[in-house]
C-alpha cells in the first residue's frame, strides 16, 4: 500500500470515530470516554507516521511552497495534540462543555484532513512519485505496528 492510501485509510477511521463521538450526548459518559481513547490512539499513531515519514520527505523534495505547507500542517497537528485534545481529556464527559469541545476538535481535524487530501497529498504524489510513495508506505506499515503495540502496552 502506498503512503497516501495508508494515510487516507486512517483519515476514514478517524472521521468515523469523530462522527460517532459527535452523536453521543451527556448521558453516555462511558461511551464518550471509550471513543475519546480510541481517537487519541489513532491520532497519535497517524500524526507520528506523517511527521516521521511523509512530511520530511515532502519537505525535502519540495520547494518554498511545500515548506510552507509542511509548517502549516505541523502547526495544526500541534494545536490538536497539545491543546484541544488534552483539554478535552480533562473535560467531564457528562458535561455540555464536552460537546462543544468535541465539535471544535471535529472541525479542526476535518479541515486538516481536507487540506492534506486536496493539497498536500496530490502535490506529494507529483514531487515524490509513485515508487517513492510505495517505499514510504512500507516503512509506515512497520512503524504503525510498532507504535500501536507500544501504545497498547502503555494502556494495559
Binding site for Fe ion (CB under 5 A): 50, 116
- Cα torsion 132, 142, 152, 103 to 10°: value is 10
**40 or 116: CB nearest Fe ion:** 116
* Minimum gap (Å) between residue 146 Cβ and Fe ion: 19
Closer Cβ to Fe ion, 29 or 84, answer by number: 84
**Torsions phi, psi for 93 (to 5 deg):** -70, -15
Least distance (Å) from Fe ion to the CB of residue 79?
11
Cell for 132?
Answer: 517513492
> Which cell numbers hold the place of 51?
511527521
- Shortest approach of Fe ion to residue 152 CB, angstroms? 21
Q: How far is Cα of residue 98 from the mean position of the Cα atoms in its chain? A: 20
Is the Cα dihedral 146, 4, 76, 111 positive or negative?
A: negative
Least distance between Fe ion and beta carbon 142 (Å): 18
If the CB atoms of residues 102 and 109 are measured against Fe ion, the closer one turns out to be 109
Q: Which is nearer to Fe ion, 99 or 139 (CB)?
A: 139
- What is the DSSP secondary structure assignment for residue 93, as one 8-state letter? T
Can you tell me which residue has the cell 514510504?
Answer: 136
Amino acid at each position: 500500500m502506498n503512503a497516501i492510501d495508508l494515510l487516507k485509510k486512517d483519515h476514514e477511521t478517524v472521521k468515523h470515530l469523530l462522527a460517532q463521538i459527535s452523536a453521543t450526548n451527556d448521558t453516555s459518559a462511558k461511551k464518550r470516554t471509550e471513543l475519546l481513547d480510541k481517537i487519541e490512539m489513532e491520532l497519535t499513531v497517524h500524526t507520528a507516521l506523517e511527521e516521521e515519514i511523509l512530511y520530511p520527505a515532502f519537505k525535502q523534495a519540495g520547494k518554498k511552497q511545500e515548506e510552507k505547507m509542511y509548517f502549516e500542517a505541523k502547526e495544526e497537528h500541534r494545536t490538536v495534540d497539545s491543546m484541544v485534545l488534552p483539554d478535552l481529556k480533562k473535560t467531564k464527559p457528562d458535561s455540555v462543555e464536552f460537546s462543544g469541545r468535541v465539535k471544535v476538535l471535529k472541525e479542526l481535524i476535518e479541515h486538516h484532513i481536507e487540506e492534506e487530501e486536496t493539497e498536500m497529498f496530490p502535490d506529494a504524489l507529483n514531487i515524490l512519485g509513485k515508487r517513492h510513495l510505495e517505499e514510504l508506505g512500507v516503512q509506515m506499515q512497520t512503524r504503525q505496528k510498532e507504535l500501536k503495540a507500544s501504545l497498547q502496552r502503555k494502556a494495559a
